[in-house]
Structure 1
Amino acid sequence: MSSSTSPTSPSTARAAAAWAPRVVVGAVVVALLLVGGTAIRVWQLGRVDERQPVDMIVVLGAAQYDGRPSPVFRARLQHALELYEEGVAPRIITVGGAAAGDAFTEAQAGEQWLVENGVPGQALLPVDEGRDTYESFEAVAAVADQRGWSSAVLVSDPWHSLRSRTMADDVGLDATTSPTKRGPVVQTRETQLRYIVRETGALIYYHLTHGSSDFSDPGLG
């Protein structure tokens, strides 16, 4: 006695065909909610200054040219200097490595600028390890653990605040944010929108892969 597989009944095929568009629409809606919700959070935290007394001010690096911070980096350093002068923390940590062929790391360029603007050398610590933001935070966390520091206020551009704080929390730092409100990144609404979109994608990528998707923007310098 032989057996055979019954073909899919017409009613089953019709039901599957009816549900397929709903599944696609549902997936699109979920994706839009995820992207939209993340973008709103990026925008919201970028508008908040969480400064409070902490162990260290951590300045995230940006482009530098032969030891001279770019306008984007200089805006971050200026803001960190103001926090230091207000007594938010007794020390500033500068972070960031070097691109191929550079004589200075971002951390060194930041340290040099702060010294030139009145911060004593003993209040500065350059951490130039790590190939991206996440690895830089890992290096900062290791140094902080060795020295008994735990709390930090992070200084970067507004739209980088949420991703930075997320990474800092993941490596064990008790982090808040105080973004700079000056510099090329916040000059126009078009630039702000572009960076919100890019940071939204970068944060979603980080949550999905736990990898950093850092990028530079030579148009801003």
Structure 2
Amino acid sequence: MNNKIAKQWKLWISVTIISAVLFTISSTAISIYLYGNNSYNYKADAAIVLGAAVWGEKPSPVFRERINHAINLYKNGNVKKIIFTGGVGEINEPAEAVVGQRYAIARGVKASDILIETQSRTTSENLQNALAVVGTNQKLTKFLIVSDPLHLKRAVLMARNLGMDAYPSPTPTTRYRSFSSQMEFLGRETYFYFVYLVFKI
């Protein structure tokens, strides 16, 4: 009888733990999805465009949408400066930030209103290096973080933990449109969100 009760007790504990874990994961995933898909209309001193892949001399579709959104923010008066981030992904390719800079200048953004950093390879490095580029410029204190919607909850948390007055500005268009691609991206972001909470990387 005691063994039977002990087994039932262990089973109940196991079910409770598994349920709690699943609830935590699912609720976090939902919060990431809702956070990035809200409508935001903030104004700030600068937009920080998180890097993404380039294809030769051109931005990949993902990066292009981020750049386009930053350009629209700039032209609509939501930001005064654009900070492009991202280093070299493949040998013989220009840095992501350089590609973003060229693309934006070709579309009417003043070169003097663009800052770049060309060493970062991760979201955390994007933000740290952007902050270093800003330095002690007292005119740049409030930032819009520009990226794909599902990327923003983690990115903004990182930025605020670096001491930035940062706010989300999700791209209104994204390459991740199909249900399967969104779920894949959401699963990956949920994982990295927990990794960041635990390890701060």
TM-score interval, smaller chain: over 0.9
1:209 aligns with 199
The alignment partner of 1:54 has SS state of coil
Structure 2: distance between partners of 1:107 and 1:60: 9
Partner of 2:151: 160
2:126 maps to 1:132: no
3-state DSSP of counterpart to 2:172 = coil
- Cα distance in 1 for residues equivalent to 2:144 and 2:95: 22
Deviation at 1:63, TM superposition (A): 0.8
Say if 2:140 is the partner of 1:147.
no
Relative to the length of structure 1, the TM-score reads: 0.84
- Give, in whole Å, the separation in 1 of the partners of 2:167 and 2:145: 6
1:50 equivalent in structure 2: 40
| Structure-1 separation of matches of 2:6 and 2:136 | 60
In the aligned structure 1, how far is the partner of 2:112 from the partner of 2:39?
Answer: 26
Superposed CA deviations along residues 27-55 of structure 1, whole A, max 9, x for unmatched, are 11111111111111111111123232211
1:61 counterpart SS class: coil
Q: Determine which of 70, 76, 79 is the counterpart of 2:60.
A: 70
- Give the partner amino acid of 1:198: R
Name the SS of the counterpart of 1:181 in structure 2. coil
Any idea what the Cα deviations from partners look like across 1:75-113, whole Å, max 9, x if unmatched?
Answer: 111111110001111100001111241431111110110
Deviation, 1:14, is: 5.0
Deviation at 1:131, TM superposition (A): 2.7
Determine which of 1, 4, 9 is the counterpart of 1:19: 9
RMSD: 1.6
> How far apart are residue 189 of structure 1 and its match?
2.5
SS of residue paired to 1:88: coil
Partner of residue 181 from structure 1, selected from 155, 165, 172: 172
User: Structure 2: where are the runs of 5+ without partners?
Assistant: none
**Are 2:51 and 2:97, in contact at CA under 8 Å, matched by a contact in 1?**
yes
Equivalenced residues, count: 200
Q: C-alpha offsets along residues 124-170 of structure 1, whole Å, 9 cap, x if unaligned? A: 01112323110221111223342122211111111111111111111
Preserved contact between residue 96 and residue 130 of structure 1 (Cα < 8 Å) = yes
Structure number with bigger Rg = 1
Aligned to 1:6: none
Structure 2 CA distance for aligned equivalents of residues 16 and 146 of structure 1: 63
Counterpart Cα distance in 2 of 1:209 and 1:185: 27
Structure 1 residues 64 and 179: CA distance shift in structure 2, 3 A: same
SS at match of 2:176: helix
The SS at the match of 2:163 is coil
Deviation at 1:15, TM superposition (A): 4.7
In structure 2, C-alpha distance between the alignment counterparts of 1:176 and 1:204, rounded to whole Å = 20
1:29-44 equivalences in 2 (<5 Å): 29-44=19-34
Task: Determine the structure 2 residue equivalent to 1:59.
Answer: 49
Range with bigger deviation, 195-204 or 115-124: 195-204
Aligned residue in 2 for 1:5: none
